[in-house]
Every structure is written in structure tokens, then in C-alpha cells.
Structure 1
């Protein structure tokens, strides 16, 4: 079992620690977090649709998507002149969800995600 941890880089001296820090840095932007939330659950959206959802210009969203694409957090599919974006895998979505859940804890009381009948919005 310990061998699995070393292979995955889950040790404090693991080879992926610096890369993980880069991922956190990349996600330390409200627009990028909103983009990831919009793309969760397998959604595939265009720049214009994402711009509407996150309340930013298509040019600004396009710049954020370029960074997320370079980090292999999102991937693209082209259909004619339109480009559609989706999350490359579930990990960025899980990181953002966990960060939102942690933020809920900072408000005090019992966070919504701990309620038995919570809805996954």
C-alpha cells in the first residue's frame, strides 16, 4: 500500500508537489473556478456560452481557457467554426468542489454539503 503512495506522488517529498502547487496557482482565479464549475458533469460549452455563464467577455474567457488548456485541465472539440470546451478529467472539478466545501466551513455552522438531504447543484 505504501508503494502505491510513492508511485502516485502522495509523499511530502514526492515528485509532483511542485506541479500540484502550480495547479493550485492556476485555480487561484475566480473566473477559472467559475469556468470549471460551469463545465462540471461533462458539460461541453463554447466560449460565448461560458462567457455568459461567468459574466465576463468572450475575449477574457478565451484567455483563461487557453491557460486551462495548456495545463491540460480542459480539452477542445471543433465543430465548424465553433470550438467547444470540456474538462479533461474529473480532478479539477473535484479540487474546485472541495475548495467550495472548505469555504462553506469558514462560514460557521453546519455547511450545506454536510446536510443529509443536500442537493448537488
Structure 2
């Protein structure tokens, strides 16, 4: 199970993914509105959750199930590609961070990484990050 900010999949009453049975994180309608492809977007956006299993192809579920192909961006914890963003606001990937630490040798701590890449400094997570956080 992946740890996603704002997700507490083991709490009482957590909704389980209908495909894999894993825990989930409740989603806000703003995130769904922004990230589900227009041709798949449901009329009612309440009551949806995000599957927190990195191996499950389901991203969001509720009245309908939305798979990775139904979402406009790749979901960082459901992909192994190091170019997928880990910070969607500033479009910073794992590869970008590794390049700054190992190749450019300019970052030695979290503060350096934030200053050099911009990671974790945006304010649009609700509408750009698939987890909404």
C-alpha cells in the first residue's frame, strides 16, 4: 500500500477499491473535475475515492471506475517511469531530483532540492496532483 498525503486507508469505514480490495483516499470534486479526461467525466463528482494500491490500474472509483487511461496525467505512485512528476505544480520528476543530487551535485538536503527544482513549492496540488494533495 502506498502512503499518499491525506490518505488513511486503514481507518474505520475506509472504502475499499472494487477491483483490488485495497484502501483508498476520499477525493474532492475539484481534483476529479481537473484530471479525469473530459469524455469520461461523470456528471456527479461526489463520493469518489482514489485506490492507493500502486499495482492496481484503478485510479478513482465511486459510481464509476476510472483507470489510468481515463486520467489526463500519469499517477506518480502507479508508474515506474522516473520522468513522471512527483511534484505536479512545478512538473518535477524523480529523475529531475536525482539529476540534481547525483549529476549536478548541487543538492544535499530537502531545502536544496526545493530551491533548485521548485519541488513542493507550488500551490495547485488540488487540481494538478492526482491525489489532490
Q: Name the TM-score class by shorter chain.
A: under 0.3
- Which structure has greater helix proportion? 1
TM-score when normalising by structure 2: 0.24
Larger C-alpha radius of gyration, 1 or 2?
1
